[in-house]
Amino acid sequence: MFESLLDIDTYAAESALVERIAALERLKAAAAAGQARLAAALDAARRSAEAAAGVPAARRGRGVATEVALARRDSPARGGRHLGFAKALVHEMPHTLAALESGALSEWRATLVVRESACLDVEDRARLDAELCSDPAALDGVGDAALEAAAKAIAYRLDPHAVVDRAAKAASERTVTIRPAPDTMTYLTALLPVAQGVSVFAALKREADVCFDGRSRGQVMADTLVERVTGRPADQAVPVTVNVVISDQALFGAESASAAIVGYGSVPSAVAQNLVTDAVADGRSRAALRRLYARPGSGALVAMDSRSRLFPKGLADFIELRDQRCRMPYCDAPVRHRDHAQPHRRGGPTSALNGLGTCEACNYAKEAAGWKVATNVSESGRHTAEFITSTGARYQSVAPPAPGTPPPPGDVEQLSVA
């Protein structure tokens, strides 16, 4: 079907090309509606089977969101959102689902409607659904922001208290996150209640208003942020441990390669060299080196062993350095847990081979009934983990190579579904 839709020669006329683009967009929306129906059906089937087996209500449906995420090649965090979206559409919002199915709404626009109605009870949600989406023609030409505003306005009219309560609850989700930006920069993001966010920004701006030393306003604000948070001038080392993984040749400048900052990702080795040099030069800092052994060619880090139940610190550090990020496929979260792939209570040893770095959510997801994780070492020496979900679907995860030792061509992640 896709080949005929994409057969460009057949649709040489420009108007026909535009029509095919529109047709494929409708197909994407219809596919999203189909995925929503299937995800809701999977959740319902799992819950009724578990109810029949006597599983307590609070524990039913565990792991389903992660299974949806894996099937969609998406992160487990997004799997939770996909499943919530699917259940809301299928069970509570038939008009929004129909608009998605017909292509009148894209998946993202349907998500906006579901999100803005999430604070309402079932009856009000049904009213919003009918008012906003029962006439697909009314959705023509409405932009994302306008659609979101219309959904917000209806929600507020139907139940102002629910909207206010949601704002209060949102404050409990305040947090600070970090993600890589291009050119060895990073985005440090704070999600704050509006009053706090505005006052932090105003304080930084005020600093820039009274500073005339040749730095730009943005530079003054960024430097002030670093100084106030770390308590040190922005151009000096920060007094917390920064773990850098770098090959010995790269550390001494003999090789241009990448290094990795744990919790951040890869950086050019020159940046890592500067970090180490600055730490050595600064009397208040302490640079420590620890040797890790990587296999030549594949870059696989070599194993260590221990018999105790809790991962010993050295082994936990090793697993975190080896795995770098959560090992659940498509999950990019930082490593929080160093856990047993095969649980200790079922005889799983405390070893680098049976150890797995995961985020908190994925560690619990893989403990759901029917899940299994089998670890191994690939031919090239890299650590592999096969995640088998309760439906028998299989997903492979391969530990990344150590920085500075690129894997040979062809050594890539593979995926198969049983």
Residue 358 tokens read as 């995961």
| Cα-based angle 358, 359, 365 (whole degrees, multiple of 5) | 85
- Based on the shown chain and the rule CB under 5 A, indicate whether residue 83 belongs to the binding site for Zn ion: no
Which CB, 112 or 328, lies closer to Zn ion? 328
Closest CB 358 distance from Zn ion, rounded Å: 5
Nearer residue to Zn ion within complex by CB, 43 or 339: 339
CA pair distance 27, 39, nearest whole angstrom: 18
Question: Which residues ranging from 281 to 340 are in contact with Zn ion (CB under 5 A)?
Answer: 326, 328, 331, 333
Cβ of residue 329: shortest distance to Zn ion, in angstroms?
A: 9
Task: Give the shortest CB-332-to-Zn ion separation in angstroms.
Answer: 8
Dist. CA 84–CA 88, nearest whole Å: 6
Residue of 79, 87, 94 whose CA lies nearest to 45: 87
Q: C-beta of 361: minimal distance to Zn ion in Å?
A: 6
Q: Which residue has the tokens 């319902």?
A: 44
Applying CB under 5 A, the span of 199-207, 311-319, 351-359, 381-389 interacting with Zn ion comes to 351-359
Give whichever of 257 and 362 is closer to Zn ion, judged by the CB atom: 362
- The minimum distance between CB 362 and Zn ion, in angstroms, equals 3
Ranges within 352-391 binding Zn ion (CB under 5 A): 359, 362
For Zn ion, the closer CB: 114 or 326:
326
Q: How many residues bind Zn ion (CB under 5 A)?
A: 6
Residue closer to Zn ion by CB (options 38, 333) is: 333
The partner residues of 239 in beta bridges, in order of sequence, read none
Pick the closer one to Zn ion by CB: 201 or 364.
364
CB of 75 to Zn ion, least distance (A): 7
Q: Which residues bind Zn ion (CB under 5 A)?
A: 326, 328, 331, 333, 359, 362
